[in-house]
Amino acid sequence: MSDIFQNVEPMVHESRISVPYHWWAGDTASRFFIDLRDSQKIMGTRCSKCSKTYVPPRKTCPTCFTPNDEWREVASQGTLISYTVVRRHQASLPKKPPIIYGLIQLEGADTAVLHIIDELKPEDVKIGMKVQAKFSSQRKGTMFDIEYFRPVH
């Protein structure tokens, strides 16, 4: 740094900006979270034109713009499509590493959900393995009403 800094002590202005937000989930996502919270059911929407079931549910099909008002329950178990193991701690992580992030395609759904995989060692995780949702005992209507996904034994 000495080559660019010409003998002047570097002054730094420290600051932290706190900007609280609240995000309205909307009718479609709200219905998903209410069913998840109250009934431990995972619901998707179906596009009749594309014959695709979306989880997370869509108000409108992203491909053809058809309103998706048909709801279908999908299984709480599915296949691991891909994953990574986060090794380094960062403030934005929900818990201490190592954390296994997974993409899970639930049975009955045509798209995947993102979530945490647990109850196995990072070296044992494999693409294609079957995993099952573990629901939280205290559910509040967020994706963490599923605490994590665990291997099906």
Partner 1 sequence: MGKKRVAIVGTGQTFHKSHRPDVNGQELINEAVQRALLDADMTIQDIDAVVIGNMDHFEGINYVDCWSVDGSGGVMRPIIKLTTGGTTGSTLAIGGYHMIASGMFEKVLVIGWEKNSESDTTGAITTAFDPVWDRLVFAGAISGLAAEAQSYMAKYGATDKDGARVSVRDRKHACNNPHAQLRKEVTIEEVLASPMLADPIHLLDVCPRTDGACAVIMACEGVAERIAPQPDWIWATANRHTYSYLNDATYGELDSMADASKELFSKAGIKDPRKELDVIEMYQPYSFAGIIWIEDMGIAPRGKGAEYIWSGATDMGGELPINPSGGVIACNPIGATGLIRCAEAALQVMGKAEERQVPDVSLALSTGFGGCFWTDTILHGKNKPAF
* Smallest distance, partner 1 to C-beta of residue 17, A: 6
Of the candidates 18, 34, 38, which has an alpha carbon nearest to the alpha carbon of residue 26?
34
Q: Tell me phi and psi for residue 82, to 5 degrees.
A: -160, 170
Q: Which of 43, 61, 112, 133 is close enough to bind partner 1 by CB under 8 A?
A: 112
Rounded to 5, what percent of the chain is helix, strand, coil?
15, 35, 55
Q: Does 64 bind partner 1 (CB under 8 A)?
A: no
* Smallest distance, partner 1 to C-beta of residue 90, A: 5
**Element of type H or E holding 12:** none
Residue 42: left if φ>0, alpha if ψ -120 to 50, beta else—which one?
beta
Residue 69: left if φ>0, alpha if ψ -120 to 50, beta else—which one?
alpha
Near partner 1 in 12-51, by CB under 8 A: 12, 15, 17, 21, 23, 25, 29
CB proximity list for 9: less than 8 A, separation 6 or greater: none
Selected range binding partner 1 among 8-16, 37-45, 64-72, 131-139, rule: CB under 8 A: 8-16
* Interface pattern 70-89 for partner 1 (x via CB under 8 A): -----------xxxxxxxx-
Residues at the site binding partner 1, with contacts judged by CB under 8 A: 1, 4-6, 8, 10, 12, 15, 17, 21, 23, 25, 29, 56, 62, 81-88, 90-94, 101, 103, 111-116, 122, 127-128, 142-144
